[in-house]
Amino acid sequence: MEKLQKRISKFLQNKFNIIPKKSQLIYHEKKDWERYCLARDLNQSSEGFYCLRDLSAHILTDSEFLLQNLFHEFFGHGLYFEHSINGKEAHSLEQKLREEEKQCKSLNEIKRLRQNNPLYNQILKLQEQDFNQTEGFAMWMELYLSALTKNISGFEKRYEQLANSRKMILDKFIDYGKALGEHAVLFSCGFPKFYDNKILESLLKNIFKQDFESIKFALLYGSRKPYSDIDLFIVSDKIKSNNFGWMDVYSIGKNHFEDLASKLDISVTDALFTGDLILGDKGYLEKIKKRILFSPITPNAIKFHKKHSEKAKILASQCFNSLEHYRSAMQFNESYLKNAFELEKGHKPLTLKKLKSIYPEVFKKFDKKAYKIQAIREA
């Protein structure tokens, strides 16, 4: 069993660049399992349990579904609570509650502490909101690894015993994985995004299907941080801009793209001069970049940026109830306005990074933490 565990971990490391690092795997004989469940008020008919507080997977050895339980508890829940955004938050909250409960001298005291405890209620709320994703991912990983290790018959037998509500949760994960691929499943669950051009190209093929061939070129830009959205800039006459929750696609048609490029649109030039080519016509891309660098700044380009600055400001006024959307719209407002100022001086900043270096105080206020503090003060 240990060899199998190591083999799977090696596969997951190579495939997704994550493995359960902190999670402990503890096997229980039947009598020990009964004592363990009794002490923790768990259902003794269950055959596996993942303890979020100390990141430990507990599995009953005397079970025909031993492998499935290993895949579900250790690799499913272990990966989720160690690496996903919501899983890491849940574990962090548990650690804080654990510190509070250290002052308690008995189980009854702990129970009294948890009554109307904001931290405990926050944990329960997060667990309730995240249940479908937590369990759905663990079941999907159970299926994924059962197929990988050629133990699919064990999973199929286990599947027949699942409640219909759980089958429905799992079926959604299966359909999503079939449509978009394994990486999309993990990315949609808040896991860190580790990828290369081959993975991104595969994702684009899966998502856009027959429209994939319409892509003139695709660029990866933005922060590229594992827990941030994947930002893609695409030139295509068929693909529309879309946000998938884990990937943000900014797509425009070829003629529109060339028009915006001629006006030095900062949202376009930023992607062009900071992005990495994933696929497409490199020659065409370089031709447009050279045109941008050597073409004169026109009055039309300056007017365009001032106009879009005002549009962004109006948009911000319409979404003031959403701090994040308001912040984003106001940042667009400043980006277009400050780019217009620089163009009037005969300068081409081309990237947001350059604009921020010229106007550090203007853009500093859009830091998420600083903006929240500012909003609280203004409320």
Phi-psi region of 229 (alpha: psi -120 to 50; beta: other; left: phi over 0): beta
Do 218 and 275 belong to one domain?
Answer: yes
Maximum CA extent, the chain: 82
pLDDT of residue 319: 79
pLDDT of residue 378: 40
pLDDT tens-place values along the chain, 379 residues long: 889 999 999 999 999 999 999 999 999 998 899 888 888 888 878 899 999 999 999 999 999 999 999 999 999 999 999 999 999 999 999 999 999 888 888 888 888 888 889 999 999 999 999 999 999 999 999 999 999 999 999 999 999 999 999 999 999 999 999 999 999 999 999 999 999 999 999 999 999 999 999 999 999 999 999 999 999 999 999 999 999 999 999 999 999 999 999 999 999 999 999 999 999 999 999 999 999 999 999 999 999 999 999 999 999 888 767 788 888 889 999 999 999 999 999 999 999 999 999 999 999 888 765 444 444 334 3
The amino acid sitting at 358 is: I
- Are 110 and 101 a contacting pair, CB within 8 Å? yes
| CA separation for the pair 186, 83 (Å, rounded) | 10
Cα–Cα distance measured from residue 349 to residue 273, given in angstroms and rounded to the nearest whole number: 10
Closest CA to 315 of 338, 331, 337: 331
Q: Residue 283 is part of a domain; what is its CATH number? A: 3.30.460.10
Q: Are residues 256 and 121 in the same domain?
A: no
Query: Of 153, 188, 223, which closes a domain?
Result: 188
Verify that 269 and 124 share a domain, yes or no: no
**Residue type for position 244:** F
User: Quick one: 180 and 46 in the same domain?
Assistant: yes
Query: What residue numbers bound the domain in which 138 lies?
Result: 2-188
Residues 178 and 285 in one domain: no
State the total domains in the chain.
3
Let me know whether 12 and 99 are in one domain.
yes
Residues 143, 71: Cα–Cα separation, whole Å:
8
Q: Does residue 274 sit in the same domain as residue 335? A: no
Last residue of a domain, one of 131, 157, 188: 188
- If asked whether residues 183 and 321 sit together in one domain, one would say no
Phi and psi torsions of 307, nearest 5°: -65, -45
Task: Provide the pLDDT for residue 373.
Answer: 41
Q: Are residues 215 and 314 in the same domain?
A: no
Q: Are residues 71 and 173 in the same domain?
A: yes
Sign of the torsion angle spanned by Cα atoms 132, 86, 144, 71: negative
Same domain, 180 and 269: no
Helices (H), 244-298: 254-262, 266-274, 282-294
* Domain end among 277, 294, 311: 294
Residues 306 and 270 in one domain: no
Residue 40's pLDDT is 82
